Amino acid sequence: MNIDFDIDIGSLDIEFDIPMFDNGFKNRYIKSKISNDLPNHKIKYSNALKLAKDIRFEKLSRYDCIVAGNFIFGDFIEAFITHNNAKCKKLTISTLSLDQNNVDSLANLINSNFVDEFNLIISDYFYAHEKRSLVPYLYEKLDIDNKFQLAAAGTHTKIVLIETLGGKKIVIHGSANLRSSSNIEQFTIEENDELYDFHLEYHEKIIEKYSTINKDINKHKSLRGKALYDLIQKL
C-alpha cells in the first residue's frame, strides 16, 4: 500500500507551540514575550551623574535604586565620589567584569587624589579571558604610587566599599557590574559601619590570598625624553 506523505501544511491552521491533541486543558507553558524598553516614568534613574547628585547622606541613610539598562554603574562610582568630594581612605570593589571605560574612570579617581588605597576583586574567569587585553591595560592605568591591588578569584559579588577620611563607611551592593549590561539593575547604597566591616573582612581575606601585585617590587616607570637619554648615556 502506497501512502502519500506530500501534505501541504500551508493550508492547515495548526499552532505548533501548543499541544497537537486538544484534551480540554490549556497549555501550562507559554512563550516568553520579548520585552520593550520601559517608559521613562517607570525607571528610577538612567543617568549616573543625576543619581549621584540626588543622594544626600546622613547617618544610617539608605537608598534602594532601580536603574535603566543604559545606566553605567562604574560612572556612578566616579560621579558619587567626586560630586560629594569624598576623599577615600580605602576603596574596595568586587565585580564580575568591567571594561576599558571603567578602568579610565577609576584611574581618574586615583590621579585626582580621591583614593589613598584601592583594592579591586574580579572574577578569575574574567581575568583568564582578559589577561592579554584588558588586564595589562588595568595594571598600566591603575597601578599608581603603590595604591592599587588586583585580586582574581571565583567571585560573583558586586559590592563597593568606601571608607572616607572623615570616617564614613558606605556600602553599595546589588546586581550591577561596573559596565552596562543593557538590563534593568538594582542596587542599595547605605552608610552602615557594621555592614561595611562585615563585607570588608572577607574581601580582605580574598585580596590577601589572591592578590596579583607584589608590592615589594617597585613598578618600573616608562622613561622618555631626557631621562631616557641620560640612562642610555650611562650604558
Q: What mean pLDDT do residues 13-30 have? A: 54
Q: Which of 79, 149, 67, 138 shows the shortest CA–CA distance to 109?
A: 79
Give the model's confidence band at 230: pLDDT under 50 very low, under 70 low, under 90 confident, else very high.
low
What digits encode the pLDDT tens for the residues 73-113? Answer: 888 899 899 988 999 999 999 998 899 999 999 999 999 99
SS3 32: coil
Terminal C-alpha separation, the chain: 96
Q: How far apart are CA 73 and CA 75, in angstroms?
A: 5
What digits encode the pLDDT tens for the residues 31-46? Answer: 656 555 444 333 355 6
Question: C-alpha angle with apex 31: 25 to 35, nearest 5 degrees?
Answer: 140
- What pTM was estimated for this model as a whole? 0.74
Q: Which of 203, 155, 184 shows the shortest CA–CA distance to 45?
A: 184
Return the amino acid letter for 71: F
What digits encode the pLDDT tens for the residues 157-213? Answer: 999 999 999 999 999 999 888 887 778 888 899 999 999 999 999 999 999 999 999
Domain boundaries 40-214, CATH class: alpha beta
Contact 100, 178 (CB under 8 A): no
Contact 207, 151 (CB under 8 A): yes
In the predicted model, is pLDDT for residue 124 greater than 50?
yes
Return the H-helix or E-strand segment holding 51. helix 48-54
**Domain spans of the chain, in order of start:** 40-214
Give the model's confidence band at 135: pLDDT under 50 very low, under 70 low, under 90 confident, else very high.
very high
Percent of the chain whose predicted confidence (pLDDT) is above 90:
50
- Region class of 224: left (phi > 0), else alpha (psi between -120 and 50), else beta: beta
The rounded Cα 84 to chain-centroid distance in angstroms is: 21
Q: Which of 130, 126, 148, 138 shows the shortest CA–CA distance to 207?
A: 148
213: which residues sit within 8 A by CB, 6+ positions away?
Answer: 139, 143, 148, 149, 150
